[in-house]
Structure 1
Amino acid sequence: MRLPRELAFSLLLPLTSLALPTLEADQIPLSSPASALVKNHTNVRPLVLWHGLGDSHSSPGMLKFANLIRDVHPGIFVHSIYIEENLDADQRAGFFGNVNEQLEGVSQQIAGIDELKHGFDAIGFSQGGQFLRAYVERYNSPSVHNLLTFGSQHMGVSDLPLCAPGDVLCQIARRAARFGVYSKYAQTNLIQAQYFRDPDQLSTYLEVNEFLASINNEVANAVNNTYADNLASLEHLVLILFSEDKTVVPKESSWFGSYEPKDEGAVALLPGAERPIIPMRLQPTYIADTFGLRTLDERGAVILEVCEGEHMRISEECWKPLVERFVGAPL
C-alpha cells in the first residue's frame, strides 16, 4: 500500500496515493471530526494515528490504512489526530504553524477521548512519527505503550529537495524558507523548519530551534529529565527506515542517524562521495542518554526495521507483521 503525498520539508517531492475504493460512512474506522466515534467492540488496546505532511486526518489513504488495521484486529478503536477539523485546513497545518503549540492542542485532544484513557499504541507516518514521540516525552497522559514510526525524521532533515511542478503549497513554503530556515519567522511558522538540522550550522540550530533540539535534549543547559523518563516508559519504540528513501535526507534520520558535521578546515568531499553518517548509538545525546533512548535500547525495546522501497511506499509485507506484533494487545 502507498499512503498519500508525504513530504519531508514543506518542499519535498509529493507522493501519489494508490487508487482506493470508495468508503461508505459506516465503514470509516476512525475517531476524528469527520467521522462518528467508533466504539471498541473487542478488548484490545486502542490505536492512535498521526498522518504525515501533505495528508489529512481522514484522507482516503488514512481511512484505508485504518480499515486494514481493523482487518488484523477486528473492532479496534482508532483515532486519527487532527490539527484542524476541515481536511484542507488540516493539510495546510502540516506545512504552516508552530509545532509546540500544535502539540499542546493534540495533548488536550487525546486526553479528552474516553476510549484512550487507559493508554494506547501509536503509529506515526513521516513527520507524524517525531510529533508522536514529542507527545510521549512532553505529555504521555494518557500513556503510549508501543510507538511505531514510519520514515520519521528523528534527527531532522538536512537537505531541501525540490517541489513537484504545480505543487503550489509546497512552492510557497519553499520560497518562504529561502528567507532563512533559522529565522524567527521560519522557526515559529514553517513546520519543517522546526526540524531542519543543518550539520554545518549546528550552533545556530541549537541556539534558535525550539522543537527538535528540545525533544532530543541537545542543549546541555536546558535538558528536561522528564523527557527521558517518559520515553523510557514505552514498551517498544519501533523505528522503520525506507531502504530507498530520497525524501528524508539523510534517510538514517529514521533510526536517529545524522550527517557528520564538517570540521573547520576539513577537506571537501569529492564529487559524488557520500557524507559520513553518525549512527544512533554514537550520537552524543544517545551516549549521554539525555532523553531516554539509550535506556530504552539497552532494555531491548528499540526495534530497528526496514521497509524496502521509497519513502512511504508501505507494502503489506512490511506493515502487517509490525501491526500484528506491536498493535492491539489484549486489555
Structure 2
Amino acid sequence: MAAKVNVIVFLSVLAFAFAASQTVPIVIWHGMGDSCCNPLSMGSIKKLLEREVKGVYVRSLEIGDGIVEDTENGFLMNANDQISLVCSKLKNDSKLAAGYNSIGFSQGGQFLRAVAQRCPSPPMLNLISVGGQHQGVYGFPKCPGDNATLCNIVRQLLNYGAYVSFVQDHLVQAEYWQDPLNLEEYRKYSVFLADINQEQTVKPSYKENLLKLKNLVLIKFLQDTMVQPRESEWFGFYAPGQTKDILPMNQTKIWTEDRLGLQTLNSSGRLHFLSSDTDHLQFTETWFIENVVNKFLK
C-alpha cells in the first residue's frame, strides 16, 4: 500500500513539474515616465502575473543601469537603439528560448510590436498592447508621475521641430509623433514609427514576422486624456490634413493595403480589441485578470 502511495505522489510531483515547465514566460515593457521595477506600477504587475500564472518567469525590461537611467531612457534614448538592446537581451535569455508572451504598456506597446517585427527569435507568441500608440500621437497633454523637468524638455523640443534630425535622433516621443497636417515630412523624416508602420521602404519581413503571432491584443482606454488621439491605441488616427475627424483602423492605409497583416490576423481570429472605460493605464486587478491574464496568458 505504501509503495502505491509513493508512486501516486511521485506521479503527482512529475505532473506538476511538467506543467510548470510548460508555462510560457512573460516579458513586460513599461511606458513613458515609468521604470521596470516601480513597486506601484511594473513591480505590482510582475507580482500579479507571478501570482496568477503559477510558476511563470516574468522579465520586466530595464533599459539602462538602474531605475533612474531606465526612466530617463524612456524619454531620451533613441527608440531604435532601445529595440536593438531589447532584442539582444531577449536572445541571450535562455529562459525565453522556446518563446514568450509580451505585454507592452503605453509606448512599450509599440516598442514590443517593433520587437516582434524585427526580431523573430526567440519567438513572441502573444502580444498584448495596453494603451500603445500604434499610429503615434499628435499631442502631449499630460505627463505621468514626477517627471515635470523631462516633460518640459519634451514639449520644448517638439515645439522646436519634431522632425528636425537632432530631435528625431534623441527624443523618444518625437519618434512616434505623427503630424496629420504635414504627412510628407513625417513619412520622410520619422526614424521609428513610419518605419515600423511600413510608410517608407516596405520590408516584407515586418509583415511576415507579425503574422507569426498567435494573438495581437489591442487595449484602448475610452477616457484617455494622455494619448491624442486615443484611437491610435486601436490603429486609428486623424484623417489626413486635419485634426478633428478620426479614421478608424479599417479605413487607414495600414489596413486597406494590409501593410502589417492586420487583415489576415483579424480574419483568422487572432486580432482582438479590448477597451476599458477609464483614463490612460487605469484598470483594476479584476479587469486585468479577467480580460488579459485568463484569456491570453494561461
Larger deviation, residues 184-193 vs 165-174: 165-174
- Residues 195-274 of structure 1: matches in 2 within 5 Å? 195-219=176-200, 222-262=201-241
Partner of 2:248: 279
Alpha-carbon distance in structure 1 between the residues aligned to 2:166 and 2:263: 34
Amino acid at match of 1:148: I
SS of structure 2 residue aligned to 1:275? coil
| Cα distance in structure 2, aligned partners of 1:166 and 1:117 | 36
Q: How many residues align?
A: 277
Residue 118 in structure 1 maps to residue 98 in structure 2:
yes
Q: Which secondary structure does the structure 2 equivalent of 1:179 belong to?
A: helix
Q: Which residue does 1:34 correspond to in 2?
A: none
Gaps of 5+ in 2: 1-18
Distance in 2 between residues matched to 1:117 and 1:56, nearest whole Å:
25
CA separation in 2, counterparts of 1:210 and 1:179? Answer: 17
Cα deviation per residue 1:78-118 (whole Å; 9 max; x = unaligned)?
Answer: 01112102110000000002111111111000001010000
Q: For 2:20 and 2:254, how far apart are their aligned partners in 1?
A: 42
Aligned to 2:296: 326
Shift in Å, 1:162: 5.2
8 Å CA contact 2:131, 2:221 repeated in 1: yes
User: 1:74 matched to which residue of 2?
Assistant: 54
Once the two structures are superposed, the pairs formed by residues 62-141 of structure 1 within 5 Å of their partners are 62-141=42-121
Q: Which shows bigger deviation, 161-170 or 135-144?
A: 161-170
- In 1, the alpha carbon distance for the partners of 2:140 and 2:272 equals 28
- Decide which structure has the larger Cα Rg and report it: 2
Contact 2:135/2:232, CA 8 A, preserved across alignment: yes
Q: Is the 8 A contact 2:154 2:173 kept in 1?
A: no
CA distance in 1, matches of 2:286, 2:186: 38
8 A Cα contact 1:238 1:303, kept in partner: yes
Residue among 233, 249, 262 paired with 1:293: 262
- Summarize deviations over 1:274-314 as a string: whole Å, max 9, x none: 81111111111211111221211121111000012100102
In structure 1, what is the equivalent of residue 5 of structure 2?
Answer: none
Rounded Cα–Cα distance in structure 1 between residues aligned with 2:175 and 2:152: 18
Q: Scaled by the length of structure 2, what TM-score is found?
A: 0.89
Label 1:184 to 1:65 Cα distance change in 2 as closer, same or farther (>3 A).
Answer: same
Q: Segments of 4+ in structure 1 off by > 3 A?
A: 162-166
- Name the SS for the 2:155 alignment partner: helix
Aligned to 1:307: 276
Specify the code of the residue in structure 2 equivalent to 1:155: Q
Report the Cα distance in structure 2 between the residues aligned to 1:92 and 1:198, rounded to whole angstroms: 25
Cα distance, 1:319 vs. partner? 1.1
* Residues 57 and 90, structure 1, Cα contact 8 Å, conserved in 2: yes
Q: Secondary structure at the match of 1:104?
A: helix
Distance 2:67 2:96 in 1: 23
Q: Tell me, what secondary structure is at the counterpart of 1:197?
A: coil
Any unmatched runs of 5+ in structure 1?
Answer: 1-39, 264-273
Amino acid at match of 2:38: S
The separation in 1 between residues aligned to 2:180 and 2:287, in whole angstroms, is 31
2:135 maps to which residue?
A: 155
Aligned partners of 2:142 and 2:226 also within 8 Å: no
Q: 1:166 to 1:186 in 2, by over 3 A?
A: closer
Per the alignment, residue 20 of structure 1 pairs with: none
The equivalent residue for 1:31 is: none
* Superposition TM-score, scaled by structure 1 size: 0.80
CA distance in 1, matches of 2:20, 2:289: 21
SS at match of 1:261: coil
Give the secondary structure class of the aligned counterpart of 1:145: strand
Identity among equivalent pairs (%): 37
CA gap 1:166/1:154 in 2 versus in 1, 3 angstroms: closer
Q: Distance in 2 between matches of 1:158 and 1:192?
A: 10
Aligned-partner residue type, residue 98 of structure 1:
N
Q: Which has the higher contact order (CA 8 A, sep 6+)?
A: 1
Task: Encode CA deviations 1:122-159: one digit per residue, 9 max, x unaligned.
Answer: 00000000000000001121011111011110000011
Distance 1:131 1:210 in 2: 13
* Kept in 2: contact 1:227–1:292 (CA 8 A): no
Per the alignment, in what secondary structure is the counterpart of residue 306 of structure 1?
strand
Amino acid at match of 1:262: G
8 Å Cα contact 1:122/1:146 also seen in 2: yes
